[in-house]
């Protein structure tokens, strides 16, 4: 009898990768998702999709709905992948004996996600991070007076509510407009990179480094894989010192001297996962370290439809248009698979709810696609 995995998100391409991998490994695949229609639900690799209320409508109602799915579906493995991880991790201690939860303990998970606590943790390990302080502290005022700086909520994601300011800008007026705790961080200069890693008991099994090739706001919709030893070493040191198991991702700047500085940690799956051979994802969770995790041959990948939108937006912007068009024409799409074509073909339909919200709210696709599942307090989001 095959085992059953529950993916707790379906709207994002990363979920499709894991659905395909677990199906190839012989598992039954369920998806619990607040949206009625979604990308992964169009895949022939998914056995059942169950609509659940979003965490933004009530954290306990969300967890109760997941527990019902887990009981009814005789789920063996619960696999959170994106921002919902911070909520799903609270299922620890509430699951049937047969069910495994692939997530770190809640206290460690939230410490990594917290934009104030993570820099302090990394600095304690002797690693490079920019000066960071809670906005109401004297240290924050000192940062603002002496450096160009960034303000971001402590649980921000996808660039939500992040703002850049010049040195000398007063924090008093800015702080008065904020509705949630935030940090002030020195604004770094240099090239920006992101990472995605599998870790097991303090050892990095694979770490993908990539940079945005086409951006929608602060989120990359096309990405180039690179290899930078300074970042690899930083990640390996952090994972070892934290004794981390599970997914872990970081955003970095690399300065002119080649030194890597991590600006934040994302203890979840990011777009770097698309560079890993799909069939290796499930074994990396089920039998970590038993066999090597392979990288795909390609080093340039894209989410086709968002990249196409950015190409069209740059139509009359000269070199920017031609650069984006080249990426569109040459990058491999993250969802396309001739053996399972419907997720790619139907994406404009399955993602319609998110597209409509993006237009209505004048926000990026990345921002609206996570606002109902993110770990922060805010207005409830109507989903459909």
> Do 266 and 313 belong together in one domain?
yes
> Do 171 and 202 belong together in one domain?
no
Does 382 score more than 60 pLDDT? no
> Do 226 and 311 belong together in one domain?
yes
Q: Is-contact 213 300, C-beta < 8 A?
A: yes
- Domain membership of residue 26 (yes or no) is yes
> Do 247 and 135 belong together in one domain?
no
- Domain membership of residue 23 (yes or no) is yes
Choosing from 167, 186, 205, the residue where a domain stops is 186
The residue whose two tokens read 């606590």 is: 117
154-182 pLDDT per residue, tens: 998 877 789 999 999 999 889 888 888 99
> Do 313 and 363 belong together in one domain?
no
Angle at 224 between CA 323 and CA 208, to 5 degrees: 170
Residue 378: its pLDDT value, please? 42
Average pLDDT over residues 291-304: 97
**Poorest-pLDDT segment among 36-50, 110-124, 150-164, 275-289:** 150-164
> Do 152 and 67 belong together in one domain?
no
- Domain membership of residue 305 (yes or no) is yes
- Domain membership of residue 286 (yes or no) is yes
Choosing from 142, 157, 186, the residue where a domain stops is 186
Does 57 score more than 70 pLDDT? yes
Residue 43: its pLDDT value, please? 98
What are φ and ψ of residue 199, in 5° steps? -130, 150
- Domain membership of residue 123 (yes or no) is no
> Do 166 and 283 belong together in one domain?
no
Residue 363: its pLDDT value, please? 78
Average pLDDT over residues 281-297: 97
- The CATH number linked to 19 is 3.40.50.20
- The CATH number linked to 210 is 3.30.470.20
> Do 144 and 203 belong together in one domain?
no
> Do 182 and 234 belong together in one domain?
no
> Do 317 and 196 belong together in one domain?
yes
91-140 pLDDT per residue, tens: 999 999 999 999 999 999 999 999 999 999 999 999 999 999 999 999 99
Where in the sequence is the domain holding 166, given as residue range(s)? 131-186
Task: Give the pLDDT band (50/70/90) at residue 384.
Answer: very low
**Can you list the positions of beta strands (E) in 182-341?**
182-186, 191-200, 203-216, 219-226, 246-254, 260-266, 300-302, 332-333
> Do 324 and 345 belong together in one domain?
no
- Domain membership of residue 120 (yes or no) is no
Task: Give the pLDDT band (50/70/90) at residue 383.
Answer: very low
Residue 175, SS3 per DSSP? helix
> Do 212 and 141 belong together in one domain?
no
Residue 359: its pLDDT value, please? 81
Separation CA 352–CA 331 (nearest Å): 24
Does 381 score more than 80 pLDDT? no
- Domain membership of residue 367 (yes or no) is yes
Separation CA 169–CA 143 (nearest Å): 10
Average pLDDT over residues 265-270: 97
Does 185 score more than 60 pLDDT? yes
Written as six digits, the tokens of 302 are 């894209």
Domain count for the chain: 3
> Structure pTM?
0.94
Average pLDDT over residues 33-47: 97
Partners of 381 in beta bridges: none
How far the first Cα of the chain sits from its last, in Å, is 34
- Domain membership of residue 156 (yes or no) is yes
- The CATH number linked to 137 is 3.30.1490
């Amino acid at each position: 009898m095959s085992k059953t995995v529950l993916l707790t998100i379906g709207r994002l391409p990363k979920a499709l990768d894991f659905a395909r991998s677990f199906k190839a490994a012989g598992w039954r695949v369920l998806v619990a998702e607040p949206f009625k229609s979604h990308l992964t639900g169009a895949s022939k690799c998914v056995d059942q999709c169950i609509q659940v209320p979003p965490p933004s409508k009530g954290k306990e109602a969300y967890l109760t709905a997941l527990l019902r799915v887990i009981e009814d579906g005789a789920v063996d493995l619960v696999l959170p992948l994106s921002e919902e991880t911070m909520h799903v991790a609270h299922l620890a201690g509430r699951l049937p004996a047969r069910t495994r939860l692939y997530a770190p303990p809640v206290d460690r998970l939230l410490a990594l996600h917290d934009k104030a606590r993570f820099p302090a943790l990394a600095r304690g390990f002797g690693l490079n991070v920019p000066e960071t302080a809670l906005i109401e502290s004297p240290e924050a005022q000192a940062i603002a007076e002496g450096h160009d700086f960034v303000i971001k909520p402590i649980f921000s994601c996808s660039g939500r509510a992040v703002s850049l300011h010049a040195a000398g800008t007063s924090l008093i007026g800015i702080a008065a407009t904020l509705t949630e705790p935030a940090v002030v961080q020195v604004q770094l200069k240099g090239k920006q990179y992101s990472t995605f890693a599998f870790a097991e008991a303090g050892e990095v099994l694979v770490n993908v480094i990539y940079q945005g090739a086409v951006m929608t706001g602060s989120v990359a919709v096309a990405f180039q894989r690179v290899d930078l030893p300074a970042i690899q070493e930083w990640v390996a040191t952090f994972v070892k010192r934290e004794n981390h198991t599970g997914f872990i991702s970081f955003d970095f700047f690399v300065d002119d001297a080649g030194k890597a500085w991590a600006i934040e940690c994302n203890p979840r799956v990011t777009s770097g996962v698309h560079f890993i051979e799909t069939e290796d994802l499930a074994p990396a969770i089920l039998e970590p370290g038993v066999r090597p995790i392979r990288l795909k041959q390609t080093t340039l990948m894209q989410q086709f439809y968002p990249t196409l939108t950015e190409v069209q937006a740059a139509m009359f912007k000269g070199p920017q248009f031609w650069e984006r068009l080249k990426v569109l024409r040459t990058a491999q799409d993250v969802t396309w698979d001739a053996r399972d074509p419907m997720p790619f073909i139907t994406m404009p339909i399955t993602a319609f709810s998110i597209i409509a919200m993006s237009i209505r709210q004048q926000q990026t696709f990345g921002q609206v696609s996570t606002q109902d599942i993110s770990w922060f307090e805010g207005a409830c989001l109507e989903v459909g």
